[in-house]
Amino acid sequence: MASAPNSKYNTRSLENESFKRASRDGVNRDLGEAVPRLPGETRITDKEVIYICPFNGPIKGRVYITNYRLYLRSLEMDSAPILDVPLGVISRIEKMGGATSRGENSYGLDITCKDMRNLRFALKQEGHSRRDMFEILTRYAFPLAHSLPIFAFLNEERFNMDGWMVYNPVEEYRRQGLPNHHWRITFINKCYELCDTYPALLVVPFRATDEDLKRVATFRSRNRIPVLSWIHPENKTVIVRCSQPLVGMSGKRNKDDEKYLDVIRETNRQISKLTIYDARPNVNAVANKATGGGYESDDAYHNTELFFLDIHNIHVMRESLKKVKDIVYPNVEESHWLSSLESTHWLEHIKLVLTGAIQVADKVSSGKSSVLVHCSDGWDRTAQLTSLAMLMLDSFYRSIEGFEILVQKEWISFGHKFASRIGHGDKNHADADRSPIFLQFIDCVWQMSKQFPTAFEFNERFLITILDHLYSCRFGTFLYNCESARERQKVTERTVSLWSLINSNKDTFRNPFYTKEINRVLYPVASMRHLELWVNYYIRWNPRIKQQQPNPVEQRYMELLALRDEYIKRLEELQLTNSAKLSDSSTSPSSPSQMLPHVQTHF
Amino acid sequence: MEFSELIRTRQAQAELLSGPEAPALRGTLCVTGHHLLLSPKPQATDLWLLLLRSVDSIEKRVAGDSGTITLRCKDLRVLQLRIEGVEATLDVARSIEALSSLESVITSYPFFYRPKGLRLGDAWHFHPLESYYKRVALETDAWRLSEVNEDFSLCPSYPRVVIVPRAVDDAALARSARFRQGGRFPVLSYHHARSGTALLRSSQPLIGPKKLRCAEDEELLGAVLAGARPGAQGFIVDTRSAQTAKQARMTGGGTESKAAYPGWKRLHRPLERGRHLQESFVRLVEACGDLEQSMDQWLSRLDSCRWLAHVQEALSTACLAAQGMEREGACVLVHGAEGMDSTLLVTSLAQLILDPLSRTMAGFQELVEREWIQAGHPFQLRCAHSAFSHARSKHEAPTFLLFLDCVWQLGRQFPLSLEFGEGLLLALFEHAYASPFGTFLCNSEKERCLCEVRTQTHSLWSGLNQSKEQRKLRNPLYVLNPSALWPSVEPQSLRLWQGLFLRQTRPPERSEEVWEKVWQIVTDEKTEDSRPVVSAPEPQP
């Protein structure tokens, strides 16, 4: 302050915090070793570099590269690691400067990451010193281009819990009360012959035969026929998902498809119309006719009502997130921050996705209509809408395992193209297929958890961990585009599931304020006034945004968790003694659980 | 004066709508001297009650044989009354208009309010200055308690006692007071024991165009440095721009010259005040209440209100002052022009940042009492109207609200470190603008003495410290944090205080409900019984 009266108040002393945080996961760390290694991780090379930290300036250090990560240790400072980055997050590696460039630190590598940051390293100019680092990084960050395996196939980690056991479709449908009189489980897609991007097991109307399904498949984009995602336990209305009908310019019709939708409607007697939510903007749906797609018209589908939800396509979302990165990394836009945030439209897209999901949930919860959701192919916006609506409707999905099942079911098994959207191990950073659709879904979940702080069993770190491993390639969970490909590659046998890591360390991911409430439908407020940028994710690399060392808060939350466990145990004891007393007197009409409405928390 | 003259009608049949989702309430509406009452049934006990003083603006509309009155309250709530009968509507409206704008202090409701369970004078023996001095005296003997202002003659806006450097006698204080606007000579605001430095506040020196000097004033600031840690230097944080401070000389004010105050260095951190701050507040409330406007432009509209920019400036100036003490080991004097607005904002926030005791329930109440109420923030002028009133006078400014918002931001960034929660901040906001208690009445201790506020009204603190209020006001997660709280003041780290500004648009899950659930988990820690009991701490004598 004395030396620079014009400098603004600064939070420099907190800046080291972010580095320490980056290196905390379930890794066993050998103190004698320079780099922490996972079982199956091998060291490839190391090199002295200058890390150009956008916040603290150049730092001299040694970079270690393994077949899984890039790790940086400072030469000057204590042993705290500065960077610990899985190579999977790298989307692009560029050389900056040439052998003759002038200026300090002008020669080196610039690495663009998928998680909202860039890493810059400066190297010595003499002797092409960056060449081998560039080549090794390129080879291990983009193994697909070099006929190398993705790290998940080399990972030999073992966990107490097997995450691959979390999702069993038969069990999940049984939990929903399926099959029943109106819905049956079909194995028609057992060998992925009906639809190669759908799971093997599908739930379809009881009255539709397998032959019907085959005929309907011909009229739906990529054969993604309408199948059940969720059924309301009481009013029995359903959420059904599919792709667009192949109407085309000539306005083709398909009697089987029309009949099939009517069969879906009729699974519920009281319903006179089936509601169709087309996730796209109206004009996009019309434009899709030119490429053979389209939407359900009134005259062909009599007992339906069609609404467009105005959610934009993957390209719009990708550009919007790019703009967010522009205003938060490396430097955050300070003047007119809110206006620049607005100009990215990111929160507006979040709002539209949430609004759409609320409409779906509301329709189903009211019992007035079953809902059919589709977009174009039914694997991006459709997955967002069905999974968010299910999260609003069904409190089971708000538990840690429930959420894993939701992701496993609506996203992974139903063929959200993770490989294409994320580009695992692929060097083509400009691929137009890449898009942050799943990130956007997780952001929506975060917005909900902000608005309902006691409704979710998991905490923010759970969501961030999922996103980190969406890119890391340490686990097999998000690899490949669909179930058939995963089966061909024997992913469940050859890789570890992310849920193994999470379920073996559940306490780290628990929300201490979670209060389980069955049958409570959550309607978040999707107004711009109530949405906020997820600063702890999008701007987490910037130390100036950090408020407090995360540790005391987390420690307190852990204490709270312990307290809550204790509390619940004591309550159960109380209830036991109470019910013992009650059965003695057998006069009291109220059960102990009714006496304590808020505390039916369980584990 | 008789209120009955102002009451045009005693009763009417009405329907009350208090929000988009709250159920309508029907019944008989009554206007009394201080309240608007609605009783659903003739002998109903669950009366709806509104303090007329909390009405900020009133709008009436008649159609057919009924009318609608929209009441916009100072606490930012909007209420609608549908009243049967055109005459009745107009009469009710006129009565509310007349009664809500009464200016007399001694006929105001606090002088009539006699709640059960409280005795008059209970918390008024709460002397934060004396008790704070006791604490300082344990840390250093460089300061003394002076009664030089016993009869408010030196400074009408200061309390009877002030903490000043021991080395300066009362006669010198008197001369320093004459050299400062409104007599507000430099006094101790906070002593930072860890670094042995002090935070002071005052008003601007009356340097004027002739560049006057005052030996005693210079001596006073010199004594501050001499009494601090050896070698300590001083910073004067002027809450005006260098240019404004210089221009103030034309009207008799100014700022300390380097030559006259050796060891002190001046920093200018312009903070918005007065009319501009009020306008920002009005724009923000307008934007928050405007449900028609396209939501696509919400963020840029929020930006253009500039309220969050004011929050940022206030917090970073407070951080600067706190940093000067804690990290540079310097003494800090804060002043603007009059030293009753942004000055208090900076000194009180700096204390919250540095002093763990001020973050407790009792400590925060003392801070508000000592640094705002007794320090002479003119509450009656500043909080006469809130964001809706059309009757603008130039004295309104939401400085205290800005302080509360900054505290809320601190609480959001440090969720465990404040013993109180949003509930207390909301309560202080509401009571500052309209209250059955006397705490926020008048503009200064002198006026409070003249009106006998202390003997004739109840103190808000005794109201708040009743055990039934505690769960709403306390932070269930609090644990003492002994270190300074350095908040992040980047615009990305600041949020709109939704619990206040968006109270009309119902939040998805009410924070009170969340609070209650957390309490249930936490209080089991302290009690054997599953029903939690919270004991209220006694206010410090």
Cα–Cα distance between A171 and B326 in angstroms, integer? 60
Cα–Cα distance between B540 and A128 in angstroms, integer? 72
Structural tokens at position A231: 């059924």
- Cα distance from B318 to chain A (closest Cα, Å)? 9
Q: Quick one: pLDDT at residue A552? A: 55
Q: Quick one: pLDDT at residue B293? A: 64
- Stretch A568-587: mean pLDDT, rounded? 62
DSSP A198-230: S-S-EEEETT--HHHHHHHHTTBGGG---EEEE
- A234 — pLDDT class (breaks 50, 70, 90): very high
User: Which of A342, A454, A563 has the CB atom closest to B524's CB atom?
Assistant: A563
Contact residues on chain A for B492, CB-CB shorter than 8 A: 328, 332, 337, 533, 535, 539, 545
Question: In this complex, do A524 and B514 lie within 8 Å of one another by their Cβ atoms?
Answer: no
Structural tokens at position A206: 């009881």
User: Which of B298, B415, B530 has the CB atom closest to A574's CB atom?
Assistant: B530
Residues B43, B180, single domain; the answer is no
Residue A124 placed within a domain? yes
Residue of chain B whose Cα is closest to the Cα of A548: B414
Structural tokens at position B105: 């202090």
Active site residue A375: yes
Residue B532 placed within a domain? no
- Cα distance from B271 to chain A (closest Cα, Å)? 14
Residues A202, A99, single domain; the answer is no
Other Cβ atoms closer than 10 A to B108: 22
Report which of B261, B253, B193, B254 is spatially closest to residue B223, judged by C-alpha positions.
B261
Residues A90, A209, single domain; the answer is no
What CATH number is given to the structural domain containing B70? 2.30.29.30
Residue A446 placed within a domain? yes
Residues B95, B168, single domain; the answer is no
Would you give the DSSP letter of residue B222? H
Burial grade of A360 (CB within 10 A; 0-12, 13-18, 19 or more): buried
Least trusted range by pLDDT, from A25-34, A280-289, B218-227: A25-34
Has residue A3 got a pLDDT over 60? no
- Which amino acid, one-letter code, is at A398? R
Contact residues on chain B for A564, CB-CB shorter than 8 A: 521
* Structural domains counted in chain A: 2
A376 is in an annotated binding site: yes
A433 is in an annotated binding site: no
Has residue A298 got a pLDDT over 50? yes
Has residue B263 got a pLDDT over 90? yes
* Structural domains counted in chain B: 2
Residue B354 placed within a domain? yes
Report which of residues A200 and B5 the model is more confident about: A200
Q: Quick one: pLDDT at residue A77? A: 61
Has residue A596 got a pLDDT over 60? no
Q: CB under 8 Å, gap of 24 or more: what pairs does B82-88 form?
A: B82/B14, B82/B15, B82/B16, B82/B17, B83/B12, B83/B13, B83/B14, B83/B29, B84/B12, B84/B13, B84/B14, B85/B12, B85/B13, B86/B62, B87/B9, B88/B9, B88/B12, B88/B13
Has residue B38 got a pLDDT over 60? yes
Question: In this complex, do B413 and A596 lie within 8 Å of one another by their Cβ atoms?
Answer: no
Q: Quick one: pLDDT at residue A32? A: 46
pLDDT in tens, A309-344: 999 999 999 999 999 999 999 888 888 899 999 999
Residues B176, B227, single domain; the answer is yes
Q: Cβ distance A344 to A319 under 8 Å?
A: no
Q: What is the mean pLDDT of chain A?
A: 87
Question: In this complex, do A14 and B487 lie within 8 Å of one another by their Cβ atoms?
Answer: no
- Cα distance from A543 to chain B (closest Cα, Å)? 9
What CATH number is given to the structural domain containing A99? 2.30.29.30
Of B78, B102, B126, the domain-final residue: B102
Residues A389, A519, single domain; the answer is yes
| CB proximity list for B198: less than 8 A, separation 6 or greater | B142, B143, B188, B189, B190, B191, B192, B224, B227, B228, B325, B331, B332
Cα–Cα distance between B232 and B192 in angstroms, integer? 13
Cα–Cα distance between A479 and A115 in angstroms, integer? 17
User: Which of B327, B481, B487 has the CB atom closest to A547's CB atom?
Assistant: B487
- Stretch A241-249: mean pLDDT, rounded? 97
Residues B210, B69, single domain; the answer is no
For an interface test with A, which of B488, B498, B511, B516 has the most A Cβ atoms less than 10 Å from its Cβ?
B488
- Which amino acid, one-letter code, is at B76? L
Has residue B441 got a pLDDT over 80? yes
Question: In this complex, do A1 and B495 lie within 8 Å of one another by their Cβ atoms?
Answer: no
Residues A94, A214, single domain; the answer is no
- Stretch A10-25: mean pLDDT, rounded? 37
Residue A347 placed within a domain? yes
Has residue A460 got a pLDDT over 80? yes
- Cα distance from B42 to chain A (closest Cα, Å)? 33
User: Which of A1, A454, A563 has the CB atom closest to B323's CB atom?
Assistant: A1
Other Cβ atoms closer than 10 A to B231: 8
Question: In this complex, do B488 and A452 lie within 8 Å of one another by their Cβ atoms?
Answer: no
Report which of B514, B357, B349 is spatially closest to residue B422, judged by C-alpha positions.
B514
Of A502, A523, A544, the domain-final residue: A544
Residues A108, A225, single domain; the answer is no
Q: Quick one: pLDDT at residue A349? A: 97
Residues A122, A270, single domain; the answer is no
Residue A16 placed within a domain? no
Other Cβ atoms closer than 10 A to A148: 15
- Stretch B465-494: mean pLDDT, rounded? 88
Question: In this complex, do B491 and A348 lie within 8 Å of one another by their Cβ atoms?
Answer: no
Structural tokens at position B219: 């001596």
- Stretch A430-459: mean pLDDT, rounded? 96
Question: In this complex, do B488 and A546 lie within 8 Å of one another by their Cβ atoms?
Answer: yes
Question: In this complex, do B296 and A528 lie within 8 Å of one another by their Cβ atoms?
Answer: yes
Q: What is the mean pLDDT of chain B?
A: 89
Contact residues on chain A for B485, CB-CB shorter than 8 A: 548
Percentage above 90 pLDDT, chain B: 65
Question: In this complex, do A539 and B296 lie within 8 Å of one another by their Cβ atoms?
Answer: no
> How many contacts (CB atoms, under 8 Å) link A and B?
151
Residues B177, B68, single domain; the answer is no
Residues B253, B384, single domain; the answer is yes
Residue B117 placed within a domain? no
Other Cβ atoms closer than 10 A to A566: 13
A168 is in an annotated binding site: no
Residue of chain A whose Cα is closest to the Cα of B477: A556
Question: In this complex, do B498 and A529 lie within 8 Å of one another by their Cβ atoms?
Answer: yes
pLDDT in tens, A547-564: 544 445 666 666 677 776
β partners of residue B63: B66
- A5 — pLDDT class (breaks 50, 70, 90): very low
A337 is in an annotated binding site: no
Q: Quick one: pLDDT at residue A579? A: 66
- Helix and strand element counts for chain B (H, E): 19, 14
Residues B395, B487, single domain; the answer is yes
A313 is in an annotated binding site: yes
Residue B457 placed within a domain? yes
Residue B516 placed within a domain? no
User: Which of A341, A527, A556 has the CB atom closest to B477's CB atom?
Assistant: A556
Residue B529 placed within a domain? no
Q: Cβ distance A198 to A414 under 8 Å?
A: yes
Percentage above 70 pLDDT, chain B: 92
A377 is in an annotated binding site: yes
Q: Cβ distance B490 to A545 under 8 Å?
A: yes
Residues A291, A237, single domain; the answer is yes
Instruction: Scan for tokens 């000539």, then name that residue.
Output: A250
Q: Quick one: pLDDT at residue A391? A: 98
Residue B520 placed within a domain? no
Strands (E), A342-435: 371-374
Cis ω before A330 (30° cut-off from 0): yes
Residues B233, B89, single domain; the answer is no
Of A148, A182, A207, the domain-final residue: A148
Residues A110, A209, single domain; the answer is no
Has residue A13 got a pLDDT over 50? no
Has residue B405 got a pLDDT over 60? yes
Has residue A211 got a pLDDT over 70? yes
Which residue range is the domain that position A89 belongs to? 43-148
Contact residues on chain B for A522, CB-CB shorter than 8 A: 508
A102 is in an annotated binding site: no
Residues A376, A517, single domain; the answer is yes
- A128 — pLDDT class (breaks 50, 70, 90): confident
Residue B118 placed within a domain? no
Question: In this complex, do A529 and B298 lie within 8 Å of one another by their Cβ atoms?
Answer: yes
Residue of chain B whose Cα is closest to the Cα of A543: B488
Has residue A25 got a pLDDT over 90? no
Q: Quick one: pLDDT at residue A573? A: 73
Residue among A242, A375, A444, A473 flagged as catalytic: A375
Q: In what helix (H) or strand (E) does residue B362 lie, and over which residues does it extend?
A: helix B361-368
Question: In this complex, do B298 and A522 lie within 8 Å of one another by their Cβ atoms?
Answer: no
Contact residues on chain B for A535, CB-CB shorter than 8 A: 492-493
pLDDT in tens, A57-91: 999 999 999 999 999 988 876 667 789 999 999 99
Global pTM reads: 0.89
A380 is in an annotated binding site: yes
Residue A581 placed within a domain? no
Report which of A413, A281, A407, A418 is spatially closest to residue A356, judged by C-alpha positions.
A281
Q: How far is CA A324 from the centre of its chain?
A: 18
Percentage above 90 pLDDT, chain A: 73
DSSP A70-132: EEEEESSS-S-EEEEEEGGGEEEEEEES-TT--STT-SEEEEEETTS-EEEEE--SGGGTTHH
Residues B223, B335, single domain; the answer is yes
Residue of chain A whose Cα is closest to the Cα of B527: A567
A256 is in an annotated binding site: no
Has residue B5 got a pLDDT over 80? no
Contact residues on chain A for B288, CB-CB shorter than 8 A: 529
Other Cβ atoms closer than 10 A to B158: 23
Residues B203, B281, single domain; the answer is yes
HSE-CB for A237 with a 13 A CA cutoff: 22
Least trusted range by pLDDT, from A107-116, B185-194, B301-310, B381-390: B381-390
Sign, CA torsion B356/B362/B364/B370: negative
Which residue range is the domain that position B214 belongs to? 138-507
Report which of residues A100 and B166 the model is more confident about: B166
- Cα distance from B350 to chain A (closest Cα, Å)? 13
pLDDT in tens, B110-146: 999 998 888 887 766 678 899 999 999 999 999 999 9
User: Which of A11, A342, A452 has the CB atom closest to B486's CB atom?
Assistant: A11
Of A544, A573, A593, the domain-final residue: A544
Least trusted range by pLDDT, from A218-227, A387-396, B30-39, B150-159: B30-39
Contact residues on chain B for A597, CB-CB shorter than 8 A: none
Q: Quick one: pLDDT at residue A597? A: 31
pLDDT in tens, B335-355: 999 999 999 999 999 999 999
- Stretch B57-66: mean pLDDT, rounded? 91
Angstrom CA distances, A546 to A7, A15, A269, B449, B486, stand at 19, 8, 55, 46, 10
- Cα distance from B524 to chain A (closest Cα, Å)? 6
Residues A456, A535, single domain; the answer is yes
HSE-CB for B486 with a 13 A CA cutoff: 19
ipTM value for the complex: 0.88
User: Which of A14, A527, A547 has the CB atom closest to B295's CB atom?
Assistant: A527
Residues B143, B90, single domain; the answer is no
